[in-house]
Structure 1
């Protein structure tokens, strides 16, 4: 209750200051009481791995390539030893990818591709993400590994115009 009182007093102080400095003028400076924003903004961005999709990501190979450095610093270090072993073996590990925009979950394979030196999400990438979400070259996606749920979280961050 004290924080609400503090917030109310801060608003009252701001209103009084605005009245003194603006003499009743209504400007877009935020001094008008109706212009005080209550909108919350996301301070923490979980999508440390962001990728602009290329033709290669949307093509017939049905995989999303992710760079080695990003995977090592943002995914592998949070995965259990068995999952990392499967990924690194070239066989791959079955993983769940939760589409945060639609709430749907999809089973894909996360694997290291020695030929490209990259990691990939494959085995349904085209069907479950590219076609279903109508992804195009230039769209930006974000992905992160949630260690508590032991699954990837995916989001379409920006679409091309």
Structure 2
């Protein structure tokens, strides 16, 4: 399908009028010239046109990796999987990635030592669990009240396993994933 330049201009006008139609794909054609063989009567090139700036943008084939969503990564320690019945969360990660996204009221309650119920979505099983997020007297932040039963025993977590978590601001819950199982030597971080 060959488009004339007038059709491209009409599409660009439409794209300016419709904000969602920001990029327009068009096809340039070159007519047969006396210097080219008759079998090559039409050569086509695909380009993108930025409708707002009227600038052609080449299509990139460069692989771009997206940011790693697992902002809290932790190799489980003995105290995370034993009878302490809690997951110790790294304070620097909470300050950088969780507290700024969590509601002010929840942050205030957690920092004052209250037990705050939070949902944790296990991305491996697609199940939600309700745990308690709190500040211990030692100054450590932990997830408890179900951690051992639902995660350690339920997922067979052991010392050295690596987990990943992040706080989802839109759904107001932690997302959890086992990134690497030491005992099995498997990794599902790309999943």
* TM-score normalised by the chain length of structure 2: 0.62
The runs of at least 4 consecutive aligned structure 1 residues that moved more than 6 Å come to: none
The reply on whether 1:72 has 2:72 as its aligned counterpart is no
What SS is found at the alignment partner of 1:135? coil
Q: 1:131 to 1:42 in 2, by over 3 A?
A: farther
Cα offsets for 1:51-83 (capped at 9, x unmatched):
000010001111100121111111111111111
Number of residue-to-residue matches in the alignment: 132
- Which residue is 1:128 aligned to? 150
What is the correspondence of 1:23-38 to structure 2 with a 5 Å cutoff?
Answer: none
Instruction: Give the Cα separation in 2 of the matches to 1:73 and 1:113.
Output: 19
Instruction: Give the Cα separation in 2 of the matches to 1:2 and 1:109.
Output: 51
What is the correspondence of 1:42-81 to structure 2 with a 5 Å cutoff?
Answer: 43-81=66-104
Q: Which is richer in strand?
A: 2
- Which residue is 2:165 aligned to? 143
Q: 1:109 to 1:42 in 2, by over 3 A?
A: farther
Question: How far off is 1:41 after superposition?
Answer: 7.8
Bigger Rg, which one:
2
- Which residue is 1:85 aligned to? 108
Higher relative contact order (CA 8 A, sep 6+): 1
Q: Which is richer in helix?
A: 1
Question: How far off is 1:155 after superposition?
Answer: 0.4
What SS is found at the alignment partner of 1:70? helix
Q: Which runs of 5+ in 1 are unaligned?
A: 11-39
RMSD (Å) for aligned C-alpha atoms: 2.5
Instruction: Give the Cα separation in 2 of the matches to 1:150 and 1:123.
Output: 18
